[in-house]
Structure 1
Amino acid sequence: MFPTLETERLILREITYDDAEGIFACFSNDIVTRFYGQDSLETIDQARGFVDFFAKNFEEKKGIRWGIERKGERGLIGTIGLNAWSPKHKRAEIGYEIHPN
């Protein structure tokens, strides 16, 4: 089961296909992807591919990626998560991005 986390102002929740536009808005922005290690997205289908990638990583216990949403406002402002998770070695990479607006 995918964990949902809450802070005073934010909800960190599972990313779904309904979030493809929000994912595209973030990852098609050159300011956001400048240090991300890959090219900016060019199509909404690529954003849907990210949704699949994030879900597969979670299913395979390789990482977890939450969508960041402001409480009371629908729509992602970014994502945050753990990548390259290795429970055996007790390590993971932490990454996030937030849309500049």
Structure 2
Amino acid sequence: MGSYRIQGQGSGRGALRRRSGVVEPLTANGGHGTTPAEQESVSRMIAGLNEHFGLDFSPEHRVTLAEMMERVDADDPLEAAREHNRERAGCLR
């Protein structure tokens, strides 16, 4: 992509129900953490992809949100585009 632009897709109001609850904090690796059952489910999906497509995804291919943000922040052309859009739209990061 050579350029980016901000374009509105729609507008509206969303209603949220007021109720008590807890929002769990992110873990150090940028996620909410997973249960052993969720880990097993994801492991089976990855094994199925590896088998079906001849891939070999393994734990070293895992990318956390924190790692992705570091990569994005280190990408100078992306940062320039982000700054350009921030100025045009009055956005904050």
Instruction: Give yes or no for TM over 0.5.
Output: no
The structure whose RCO (Cα within 8 Å, separation 6+) is larger is: 2
Determine which structure has the larger strand proportion and give its number.
1
TM-score, normalized by length of structure 1? 0.30
TM-score, normalising length: structure 2? 0.32
Task: Give the structure with the larger helix fraction.
Answer: 2
Q: Which has the larger radius of gyration?
A: 2
